[in-house]
Copies of this chain bind each other. A is one copy, B any other.
Amino acid sequence: MELAWIERLRGESGVGFLGDDAAIYCGKAITVDMLTEGVDFILSEVSPELIGRKSLAVNLSDIAAMGAVPEAALVAVSLPRGDADANILLAEKLYSGMKPLMEKYGVTIIGGDTNCWDAGLVISITLIGSVLPGGVFRRGGAQADDVILVTGELGGSILKRQFLFEPRVFEAIYLNENHLIHGAIDISDGLAIDLYRVAKESNLGAILNSAAIPISPDAFECSLTSGRLPLDHALSDGEDFELILATPETEAKKLLETQPLLNRYGTKLFAIGKFTADKNLLIANPDGTTNILKPKGFEH
């Protein structure tokens, strides 16, 4: 869906940035994400504060994937029709959930639109970030033999991390200012499909080392009831919101040895494979065999 619509716009408008996590416009990175009830959250099962938090955090993650610095947001909301007091309370709780992230990452809300209607809660946030002197991370910037890094453990985000994840904003800024990153994306739909997007935009393939993929304890927990392997959760669960980074081997070596993000932000980098001139997406098994990796994940 997303892809067809984007491809069409690309063809028609000649815009070259639609494949990235954010558009670059007049020196700013700009992104929009719309969250809807029943897809991104269940209003009866989670607090409005966590919904508000998530709606800003997913946009912060997009700005982080560009290596940009978040600055300003416009917040459009449609609330399920109720009495005015209940609606104001809901809007305020959504806002309360955004506020700690706004303070932590320096985001100001500069505008918005609030409506009521006879259906579920919808929140659409447009987030603007400034571009650092070093430029932005692009999906299409990876090069053959670049090492694939990820910023944390993957899989099982549905248990809680989908609401509580920390967008890798500071990490991305640090990497942009101090290291050579060729390309990046945030894992919103799943490691395999988001890795595929970077590979495709870069006209490359990739090979993952299955034994090196950091699997979240949540993935193991999900595995107990899903009947799927923990590795499968790590490969195809959405909403990890860790970054996939493409970086040259020498830079990757430096990053893995010194782990600069670990001391600063408690964020460990993992090398999980490399990009290849061969355009297949592969996964190497512990027994030495390789398989085609299907770009599975959450498709909107």
A residues adjacent to B (C-beta < 8 A)? 1-2, 4-6, 8-9, 12-13, 15, 17-18, 22-23, 25-26, 28, 30-34, 36-39, 72, 74-79, 84, 87-88, 91-92, 95, 99, 108-120, 122, 124, 126, 128, 300
Contacts and interface: CB of A to CB of B under 8 A. Distances in A.
Given A4-B88, A91-B5, A108 B74 contact: no
Contact of A115 (B36, B74, B84, B126): B36
B109 A1 contact: no
Nearest to A99: B12
A30 B122 contact: no
Contacts of A12: 99
> Quick one: copies of this chain in the complex?
2
A227 B92 CA distance: 39
A52 to B, nearest CB: 12
B116 A5 contact: no
Contacts of A78: 34, 36, 122
Nearest to A58: B113
B23 A74 contact: yes
Contacts of A124: 32, 34, 76, 113, 122, 124
A23 B13 CA distance: 26
Contacts of A79: 1
29 contacts: A1-B88, A1-B115, A2-B114, A5-B92, A6-B112, A9-B95, A13-B108, A17-B111, A23-B72, A25-B72, A26-B28, A30-B111, A31-B74, A31-B111, A32-B75, A32-B111, A32-B113, A32-B126, A33-B76, A34-B122, A36-B122, A37-B117, A37-B119, A38-B118, A38-B119, A115-B300, A119-B120, A122-B124, A124-B124
A124 B126 CA distance: 10
A135 to B, nearest CB: 17
Nearest to A92: B8
A126 B22 contact: no
Given A109-B13, A111-B22, A116-B300, A34 B4 contact: no
